[in-house]
Structure 1
Amino acid sequence: MKRDGHIHTPFCPHGSTDTIEEYVEKAIASGFKEITFTEHAPLPENFVDPTPDKDSGMNPAYLMDYFKQLQRAKEQYQSEIKINIGLEVDYIVGFEQETKQFLNEVGPLMDDAILSVHFLKFQDEYVCIDFSQEVYLQFANKVGGILPMYKLYYETVKKSIISDLGLYKPKRIGHPTLIHKFQHAHCEQIDDADYINELLKMMQTGHYELDFNSAGLSKPYCKEPYPPYPFVKQAIDLQIPVIFGSDAHTAADLHQHYELLQNKITF
């Protein structure tokens, strides 16, 4: 069954104005039977978004309207496609209690959700690690190099897996090799296989799903999905549920590279 489990909406402040209906109708036309809308959840109220436009998460004032619009779409298209209502929730070191409280409030409204790491903390500074090539390389210099930055990223993902975020904690780990987004912007060859394998074993133990995210294939400094193919095969061997996600922020990008991934790996 064709399923896309990672889709954004016009509620994304750094996305497009393409309507929910445009996404749904394209999914139906493309033969998909199930989709999940996973808009970036509002960030914790006392967390200062380090990006210039402060647009990493949804405006909390729009959250209930987001749920209402998706519920209407779910009912409108129920005979043609299964629509899951969800969010992509950020795991941010130091904000676990706020995130748990948020999930306790909105969890009953969701069918599905993703837990992702976009923000890394070093000393007292947070950075959005996938914001730009320049931010990525500057942050690497601050933490002591590319390899220490990779290590910090994977340690943060590990914390997201073991953190107590309550009953409604998302069960799918989003793009767990996002640190690869700018891997061709530096000249170092980083062997992070042990880190990724450790994450997969922790996901297996915790009964998590894997977001097999195709967006990296469209990123000029990445050129691969998150995670790369060998680790998806490893996840399948570990019986970790693998859920394709296009991470589309526009209707044009919906289901991007699905056929390519499907031809390489059966998921």
Structure 2
Amino acid sequence: MTVIGDYHIHTNFCPHGSNDLMEQYIKKALSLNLKEITFTEHAPLPVGFVDPTPNHDSAMSWNDLEEYIQTINHLKQLYQKKLKINLGFEVDYIEGYEKQTKAFLDQYGEHIDDAILSVHMLQTPNKEYVCIDYSREMFGNIIDTFGSVDSIYEKYYQTIEKAIQCNLGKYKPKRLGHLTLIEKFHLIYPAKNNYNEKMDEILMQIEAKHMELDLNSAGLFKEDCREIYPNISIINKAIKRNIPLVPGSDSHASNGLTKGFDQFPNTIPLSEPTYLD
């Protein structure tokens, strides 16, 4: 399998990541003979949204936004003959904050080459918010809040559908991040039901909206998951629908670039992103 690029990469601007500088990621990419990378730092959370994680460290600070953009643009010029560097974000879809998210994309979209739309936050039955992938312990608390594992899965996939369908303007990301992130703790908190029919509906919507999927290797290294996001069954269904699969390591340190790509089946056709206009 020939890997051209890694299109889901975090940086030192991520408060829950490493201190590796972007240039370290670039040098690692060059050592791997990559032709292209996308920096997809967690976009600042919407104005007015309170990060539900204990350390409030889910996303980059609004105060760092301009420096993030300037740094990548500088590195683009510095390495333009060696590596294609895309400026991107991993944008959270948060139910109830669509207007604020669209406002961010409208304001900064002209700087964006490539981006990911992900669901990390769910609205609870009492209209509060939780982060589904923070920790095993927090997921256990979320089960108590929702009443069952399956209730969380149902809410997650409902939220994914809203992310696919919502109007976030001309700069809406074209790629859905780690579609089965809800399965991060499935080995310890398994769902009772299967979601095959729901996934078929979701893939149909993705195909209709001409979106692509983040083929995310990070789940392979999560002790309670041990699978690609999405899993092989869903990958095969996506291939049949000609949904592009864009490889991403979700790396939060430079030595994580392309980690796990060698575990992708050779039958998976890897795609480059659909770049934002």
TM-score band by shorter chain is over 0.9
Q: Give how far 1:264 is off.
A: 5.3
Which residue is 1:225 aligned to?
Answer: 228
Question: SS state of the match for residue 70, structure 1?
Answer: helix
1:111-260 map, 5 Å: 111-122=113-124, 123-260=126-263
- Aligned to 2:199, the other structure's residue is in SS state helix
Q: Distance in 1 between matches of 2:114 and 2:142?
A: 32
Q: How many residues align?
A: 267
SS of the residue 1:89 aligns to: strand
SS of the equivalent of 1:186 reads coil
1:52 aligns to what SS in structure 2?
coil
Deviations 1:80-135 (A, max 9, x none): 11111000000000000000001000100010100000000012210000001111
CA contact under 8 A between 1:185 and 1:221: conserved in structure 2? yes
Between 1:222-231 and 1:136-145, the stretch displaced more is 136-145
Deviation at 1:200, TM superposition (A): 1.1
- TM-score, with structure 1 as normaliser: 0.97
* Alignment partners' CA distance in 1, 2:112 and 2:94: 21
Alignment pair present for 1:263 and 2:261? no
Deviation at 1:190, TM superposition (A): 3.9
CA drift of 1:189 comes to 4.5
Identify the range of structure 1 (154-163 vs 73-82) with the bigger mean alpha-carbon deviation.
Answer: 73-82
Counterpart of 2:23 in structure 1 is: 21
Q: Map Cα deviations across residues 231-253 of structure 1 (whole Å, 9 max, x no partner).
A: 11211211111100100001121
Deviation at 1:141?
Answer: 2.2
Is the contact between residue 229 and residue 265 of structure 1 (CA under 8 Å) also seen in structure 2? no
* Deviation digits for residues 140-165 of structure 1 (CA, Å, limit 9, x no counterpart): 22212111110000000100000111
CA distance in 1, matches of 2:120, 2:110: 25
Alignment partners' CA distance in 2, 1:48 and 1:182: 24
1:33 touches 1:81 (CA, 8 Å); kept in 2?
Answer: yes
Paired position in structure 1 for 2:5 = 3
Which position in structure 2 is the counterpart of 1:40? 42
Work out the percentage of aligned pairs sharing the same amino acid: 46
Secondary structure at the aligned position of 1:61 is classed as helix
CA distance, structure 2, for counterparts of residue 254 and residue 154 of structure 1: 28
Matched AA of 2:114 = D
Counterpart amino acid of 2:157? Answer: Y
Change (3 A) 1:231 1:59: same
Residue 246 of structure 2 aligns to a residue whose secondary structure is: strand
Give the conservation status (yes or no) of the 8 Å contact 1:8–1:38: yes
Q: TM-score, normalised by structure 2?
A: 0.94
Q: Is 2:100 the partner of 1:98?
A: yes
Q: CA deviation at 1:195?
A: 2.0
Counterpart in the other structure of 2:275: none
- Counterparts of 2:21 and 2:265, CA distance in 1: 27
Q: Which range moved further: 141-150 or 213-222?
A: 141-150
1: distance between equivalents of 2:60 and 2:193? 34
The Cα offsets for residues 216-267 of structure 1, whole Å up to 9 and x where unpaired, read as: 0000000001000121121121111110010000112111101111535232
Of Structure 1 and Structure 2, the greater helix share is in 1
Partners of 1:262 and 1:28 lie apart in 2 by: 24
Does the aligned pair in 2 maintain the 1:161–1:202 contact within 8 Å?
yes
Q: Relative to structure 1, is the Cα distance of residues 209 and 188 closer, same or farther in structure 2, using a 3 angstrom cutoff?
A: closer
